[in-house]
């Protein structure tokens, strides 16, 4: 039943990261044609944005080493799908395939910058600067992720001011949207509200923020509600709740897109996703991965 709550946005953009964040942690290589079909099915199910892959070093993320082949298989359809690019080499590869949306991914902490990017926290900005400048000059749209916003497995608590400072520096480089990542899923609702408020107090537009929750402690949906109340209208999620980060100890699945869509529908918030088609897609993918989806909504539909 749909029962709208007061003071929430009318419409939300679900930013699907399953083909990238969902698959990047899978140890068994998923065939490229299965990835292409997954992306097509997600688009058909009404997802407005589907992040396709990463142009990172293939040794760092072997599962996504087929980024070129995937873009070739997707053809024109692939050009409008965002892809991750950490550096100029990644941008060159994305440009060769006509990609129009790229995402850089920064870290709020020193340790994760080293582990994920082989750079210090400060050095990451020097790596991103030419990427954003050249991408913007070429007319591309640039998103910036910030990881470890709500806690870091090596450093523990991460001061909100530190996250705001990293986010501000990425926006200052010219990124259009900032996605705040709870990479290891430790955040809770009050922390989310305080984080969004701190960005707003520092002069950044809440409209430029997206929230990216992993569901390690089962808090992702509660955190989405805190984000909605704070005025955020873009949420990242992964079909079937797949996901994790190969360079973050204890990072587990992303918030499942099905769970997010169920919550939004119940609140009367438009999102445009056909939940039945999406559940069918996650169930189909689970047969390829050899294990059931961890999403409660996928399990409920299947049962
Ligand atoms: P590096 O080893 O410091 O790279 O890695 P380098 O600049 O020293 O270059 C070394 C060699 O790699 C060179 O080749 C380069 O050409 C090559 P050589 O001259 O030795 O033959 N190289 C590349 N090849 C292909 N594509 C490239 C590329 N770059 C360099 N793009 C680097 C630095 C950033 C490349 C590496 O650390 C890397 O690839 N990291 C990616 C890690 C990753 O993908 N993590 C997961 C995504 S982040 C995430 O999941 C979090 C998120 O979901 C949000 C959240 O949950 O918080 C987004
Ligand atoms: Mg992630």
pLDDT in tens, 257-303: 999 999 999 999 999 999 999 999 999 999 999 888 999 999 999 87
Ligand 1 binding pocket includes 118 (Cβ within 6 Å)? yes
Is 1 within the bounds of a domain?
Answer: no
Q: How far apart are the first and last CA of the chain?
A: 19
Question: What is residue 251's predicted lDDT score, i.e. its pLDDT?
Answer: 67
What distances in angstroms separate CA 146 from CA 6, 80, 125, 132, one per listed residue?
A: 30, 22, 12, 15
* Contact residues for 77 (Cβ-Cβ < 8 A; gap 6+): 39, 40, 43
Does residue 249 have a pLDDT over 80? no
- Is 21 in contact with 245 (CB distance < 8 Å)? yes
Residue 6 lies in a domain: no
Instruction: Give 36 Cα–ligand 2 centroid separation in angstroms.
Output: 20
Q: How many residues does the chain have?
A: 303
pLDDT of residue 15: 98
**pLDDT in the model for residue 174:** 98
For 110-144, how does the pLDDT look when each residue is reduced to its tens digit (9 = 90+)?
999 999 999 999 999 999 999 999 999 999 999 99
Q: Give the model confidence (pLDDT) of 61-104 as tens digits.
A: 999 999 999 999 999 999 999 999 999 999 999 999 999 999 99
**Collapsed DSSP state (helix, strand, coil) of residue 224:** helix
Nearest atom, ligand 1, residue 86 CA: 34
Name the one residue in this structure whose structure tokens are 């790229």: 102
Q: Is 80 or 252 the better-scoring residue by pLDDT?
A: 80
Tell me the catalytic residues: 245
Provide the domain limits for residue 277: 13-302
Q: Which atom of ligand 1 is closest in space to residue 55's alpha carbon? A: 31
Which of 16, 24, 57, 147 maximizes ligand 1 atoms within 8 Å of its Cβ, making it the mutation to test the pocket? Answer: 57
- Residue 24 sits in a domain whose CATH number is 3.20.20.70
274: left (phi over 0), alpha (psi -120 to 50) or beta: beta
Give yes or no for residue 87 CB within 6 A of ligand 1: yes
Look up tokens 């399990």; give the residue: 299
Stretch 218-238: mean pLDDT, rounded?
98
Residue 180 in any domain: the answer is yes
Question: Considering its fold, how many domains does the chain have in total?
Answer: 1
Displacement of CA 281 from its chain's centroid (Å) = 19
DSSP strand pairing (177-182 vs 209-213): parallel
Cα–ligand 1 centroid distance for 16 (angstroms): 22
In a domain, 4, yes or no: no
Q: What is the mean pLDDT of residues 48-66?
A: 97
Minimal-distance CA residue to ligand 1 atom 3: 118
Strands 234-237 and 13-16: parallel
The residue among 3 and 96 whose pLDDT is bigger is: 96
Atom 37 of ligand 1: nearest residue by CA position: 117
Say if residue 254 is exposed, middle or buried (CB neighbours under 10 Å; 0-12, 13-18, 19+): buried
In the structure, ligand 2 is a single-atom ion and the residues with CB under 5 Å from it are: 21
| Residue closest by Cα to atom 12 of ligand 1 | 57
* Angle 25-30-31 from CA coordinates, rounded to 5°: 155
For residue 56 and ligand 1, the question of a CB distance below 6 A is answered with yes
User: Contact at 8 Å (CB) between 256 and 297?
Assistant: yes
Instruction: Give the whole-number percent of the chain exceeding pLDDT 70.
Output: 99
| Average pLDDT value for residue range 203-219 | 97
What's 218's DSSP letter? S
Structural domain includes residue 7: no
**In the chain, helix, strand, coil percent, each to 5?**
45, 15, 40
Q: Is the separation of the CB atoms in 234 and 211 below 8 Å?
A: yes
Instruction: State CA 77 to chain mean position distance.
Output: 20
Nearest ligand, measured from the Cα of 182: 1
* Percentage of the chain modeled with pLDDT above 90: 92
Residue 5: inside a domain, yes or no?
no
Question: Predicted confidence band at 18 (pLDDT cuts at 50, 70, 90)?
Answer: very high
> How is residue 211 written in tokens?
């929230």
Residue of the CA atom closest to atom 50 of ligand 1 = 245
Decide whether any atom of ligand 1 lies within 6 Å of the 187 Cβ. no
204: left (phi over 0), alpha (psi -120 to 50) or beta: beta
Calpha distance 227→187 (Å, rounded): 12
Cβ–ligand 1 distance for 55 under 6 Å, the answer yes
pLDDT at 35 over 70: yes
Displacement of CA 193 from its chain's centroid (Å): 19
Task: Assess if residue 2 is contained within a domain.
Answer: no
- 21, 24, 51, 56: which to mutate for ligand 1, most atoms within 8 A of CB? 56
């Amino acid at each position: 039943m749909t029962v709208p709550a007061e003071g929430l946005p009318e419409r939300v953009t679900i930013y699907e990261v399953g083909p990238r964040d969902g698959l990047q942690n899978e140890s068994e290589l998923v065939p490229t044609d299965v990835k292409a079909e997954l992306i097509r099915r997600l688009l058909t199910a009404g997802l407005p944005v589907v992040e396709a892959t990463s142009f990172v070093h293939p040794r760092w993320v072997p599962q996504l080493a087929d980024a070129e082949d995937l873009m070739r298989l997707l053809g024109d359809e692939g050009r409008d799908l965002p892809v991750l690019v950490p550096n100029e080499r990644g941008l060159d590869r994305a440009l060769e395939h006509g990609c129009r949306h790229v995402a850089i991914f920064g870290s709020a902490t020193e340790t994760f910058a080293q582990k994920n990017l082989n750079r210090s926290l400060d050095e990451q900005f020097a790596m991103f600067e030419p990427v954003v400048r050249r991408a913007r000059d070429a007319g591309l749209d640039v998103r910036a992720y910030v990881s470890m916003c709500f806690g870091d497995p090596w450093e523990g608590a991460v001061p909100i001011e530190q996250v705001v400072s990293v986010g501000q520096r990425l926006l200052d480089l010219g990124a259009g949207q900032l996605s705040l990542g709870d990479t290891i899923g430790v955040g809770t609702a009050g922390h989310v509200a305080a984080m969004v408020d701190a960005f707003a107090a520092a002069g950044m537009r809440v409209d430029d923020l997206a929230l990216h929750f992993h569901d390690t402690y089962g808090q992702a949906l509660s955190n989405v509600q805190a984000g909605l109340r704070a005025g955020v209208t873009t949420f990242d999620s992964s079909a079937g709740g797949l996901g994790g980060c190969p360079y973050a100890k204890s990072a587990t699945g992303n918030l499942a897109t099905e769970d997010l869509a169920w919550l939004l529908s119940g609140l009367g918030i438009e999102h445009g996703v056909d939940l039945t088609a999406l559940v069918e897609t996650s169930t189909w993918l689970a047969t390829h991965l050899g294990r059931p989806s961890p999403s409660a909504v996928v399990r409920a539909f299947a049962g």
